Amino acid sequence: MQCIINRRAEFSASHRYWLPELSELNNFEQFGACARSPGHGHNYVLYVSMLGELDAYGMVLNLSDVKQIIKREVTSQLDFSYLNDAWPEFQETLPTTENIARQIWRRLAPHLPLINIQLYEHPRLSAEYKGADMEAYLTVGTHFSAAHRLALPTLSLEDNTEIYGKCARPNGHGHNYHLDITVKGEINPRTGMLVDLVALQKVIDDAVVEPLDHTFLNKDIPYFESVVPTAENIAVYIGRVLKQPIQELGATLDRIKLTESPNNSCEIDCSAIVLEPLVAQSEPALAAR
């Protein structure tokens, strides 16, 4: 039987986004504060995912051996380093989160049966690399606060309560939503970026956070006048709002994870989202909370 195993590791390092062929003005225009000298640092968290067959001892690999390989090939070289000088590859392509993940894959792939490298630069920014040439994934985290009521307008309070429980109460309730948006694209061989992160954040803020934050979704967002704003439907709505603007940035919206509370979250594959006008339509109830 095959099994996926994961190993976590950490390293602390600094880096600077700076291309010598660009002027100081152009570097700051492209990289913002990340171009400042002598650079800035992060506490990186690394997850190495591996796939293999269970052996007679109930293991895919001996995790002590995995730990030593990761230390030898990656963390001992990167920990407390200036990444731009740590590996020769970072002279050619800047040490962005997505490119660091790619280079870690290249160092570990000869030794481990990798299926994914996930690297967190900080809790709200991470990258994944799965071994597909220059293709990588970038996840940006954000949040908004909103109220909603789960009720189909065509049903009575009693029927809605049977479906949605307390969430059908007439005056609604609120959540502090956490949103993770994952985009996919090709790493630029010089800048190391698959998308302009500042532009991506602006799209997310302008299209999602600002319109949804501190609203009563059922009444303030026209789409939810007849679509029940469950976490699932909110995630679909966000995907429909973001897909086109992210395409215009040169990336692809891959998936969205919406966390409603520590107990409830949902995730959608955005490849199934069709670009069409956001016309609210009545939808069947999904599930009781």
- Per-residue model confidence (pLDDT) at position 283: 45
- Per-residue model confidence (pLDDT) at position 279: 56
Residue keyed to tokens 């291309």: 19
| Strand partners for 255 | 182, 269
- Per-residue model confidence (pLDDT) at position 220: 97
Catalytic residue positions, numbered: 167, 214, 260
CB 255 within 8 A of CB 182: yes
Residues of the chain under the 70 pLDDT cut: 276-289
- Per-residue model confidence (pLDDT) at position 226: 87
Cβ contacts of 72 within 8 Å, gap of 6 or more: none
Full-prediction pTM beyond 0.75? yes
pLDDT tens-digit readout, 142-175: 999 999 999 999 999 999 999 999 999 999 999 9
Could you give the CA distance from residue 210 to residue 215 in angstroms, rounded to a whole number?
10
CB 77 within 8 A of CB 44: no
- Per-residue model confidence (pLDDT) at position 130: 98
- Per-residue model confidence (pLDDT) at position 277: 65
- Per-residue model confidence (pLDDT) at position 178: 98
- Per-residue model confidence (pLDDT) at position 278: 65
pLDDT tens-digit readout, 259-288: 999 999 999 999 988 876 665 544 444 443
Name all domains of the chain by residue range, CATH numbers in brackets: 1-131 (3.30.479.10), 133-289 (3.30.479.10)
